[in-house]
A and B are shown apart, each in its own frame.
Chain A
């Protein structure tokens, strides 16, 4: 039976219309609604389902970030994770934290916790990097099953259906492995009130990157963050004929 690590990130809620800071150093995060990265909810759900099918013995949720990352861990615990690990990183150190740092933390924890499987979301909806699973697998020399839409469990191996550009692809990977969850892997459950209450009693261990011997020196300097160019307002056409006329006039048809 496997021990599964799941990486969860606290991000600005997907429905929020973000605002760029006037000094162009980043986006406004203070007082803005945050929640668990949607792909990470899918990752947790998959791990919890493994536990329910008795394929996993323990599910450990990990989050790197400031104190509020604990709320995200509590959500993971309420969904069914057994315990949490909070790697505390805040202030400017958090602002320049990159997938390479998170991957090193996950790789170290995978060894410390003797994990058999790491599941993360395919990308975080804030930095849109899509790197952490691939890098963690590289650091551990484990195979990666990226953009998973189906995971079938075999003896010491997993049969994975991946979402690729032209359709789907099936690969077989040996465990231990790192997987990244795509949108269609599953439908995450809602945490029920009794489970939210129970989650409060589940343990969260606090660590620092230093304790894990991970150097978080930024490798990338953010020069500026700006608004994208605004599109010129268009017009509403009254009927199909006008639309066809407009498209012909602009040389599109």
Chain B
């Protein structure tokens, strides 16, 4: 309550006081030339919480779909487009000079992006060019310069105050609501032109895992498997359960390392961070590193035959049983 009041006060005071600089945030949109990544909408919510003007930069070889979606978002002041073959593969080496040029023109107080593989690879390079210390993966915004993030695999919350003039920040995708893409109607503008092609790096190809299931980081329900599944073949049990629940499928590091599933399904400190309404952990012991990626889920269900497994310490409902028996039974009864 106090924070909300203080914030209102501050927002109002900026209108009258020349001493307080008006915040202006540049959000780096993430998209794949076809659709806007949902984490961008989360980042926009964080930008709104910071307050002040919001500019979104869409760079790529084809910006129209993402830019059109963004123009409909409520509360965005500007959508800048940089459509250029130089941005093939969204390489940080080509995007960084574009962001620096854009910053030179508009002088932002904050430059933010989602803490996805894209944002994590890009923003620290931008920060280095600006000679500022970036802030990774924030989960809360206390004021325009004070942020909360987790350290030690989510086992401690660190509140930090950034002293640098420009705040370069990545935002945890599960920590803020997605800003709806409606209620707004603005037109796009062009980002500063330049020769952004980098000869240091060349995008070769992507091999993306194809799946009809919801995307892991934004799914309402996630079913995850661990070493207890014993083989990749046995993951079929989880896919059947996931299909029944319209859930995404995740995995522990053990399951990925054993080759049961591809690495992009890994949930944990060094994989994806998820916070679905329902997380079902099957055959996962619950190591610190795994818990880091899922313990903010609303409801956690654990199925494990070992009653001592640490996963039961965070589970709302635990079932001590052989997964090969109870998972098919659960699938059938749902």
Contact = CB atoms under 8 A, between A and B. Distances in A.
Contacts of B134: 99-100, 131, 135
Contact of A171 (B118, B153, B202, B262): B202
Contacts of B263: 149, 163, 168, 183-184
Contacts of A15: 288
Interface string A90-133: 00000000111001000000000000000000110111111110
Interface residues on A, range: 35 or more
A103 B201 contact: no
Contact of B319 (A100, A139, A142, A237): A237
Contacts of B205: 169-170
A18 B152 contact: yes
A220 B245 contact: no
Most buried by A among B128, B162, B198, B321: B128
B138 to A, nearest CB: 12
23 contacts: A12-B152, A20-B156, A123-B270, A125-B269, A128-B151, A138-B127, A144-B121, A147-B117, A166-B206, A166-B208, A168-B207, A171-B202, A174-B200, A183-B270, A221-B163, A222-B159, A223-B159, A225-B159, A228-B154, A231-B314, A236-B307, A243-B319, A244-B333
Interface of B: 89, 91-93, 96, 116-118, 120-129, 131-137, 146, 149-164, 198-209, 217, 221, 245, 253, 256-257, 262-264, 269-270, 272, 277-278, 288-289, 295, 299-301, 307, 312-321, 326, 329-330, 333-334
Contact of B299 (A98, A165, A239, A252): A252
Nearest to A100: B133
Contacts of B209: 166-167
Contacts of B164: 219
Given A17-B155, A135-B128, A225-B157, A240 B326 contact: yes
Given A137-B128, A159-B204, A170-B205, 14 more contacts: A39-B270, A100-B127, A128-B269, A130-B136, A162-B117, A184-B257, A184-B263, A219-B163, A228-B150, A228-B155, A235-B316, A236-B307, A244-B334, A252-B221
A168 B264 CA distance: 8
A198 to B, nearest CB: 30
Contacts of B118: 164-165
B157 A98 contact: no
Given A18-B156, A167-B207, A138 B125 contact: yes
B125 A135 contact: yes
Rank and list the top 10 A-B pairs by shortest CB-CB distance, nearest first: A138-B128, A134-B124, A219-B133, A143-B200, A131-B124, A135-B128, A234-B316, A138-B125, A170-B204, A167-B208
Given A18-B152, A173-B201, A219-B163, A103 B128 contact: yes
A228 B301 CA distance: 20
A164 B160 contact: no
B59 to A, nearest CB: 17
B92 A144 contact: yes
Contacts of B312: 234, 236
A174 B201 contact: yes
B223 to A, nearest CB: 12
B156 A220 contact: no
Interface in A1-25: 12, 14-15, 17-18, 20
Contacts of A14: 288-289
Nearest to B268: A183
B128 A252 contact: no
A233 B316 CA distance: 7
A164 B156 contact: no
A172 interface: yes
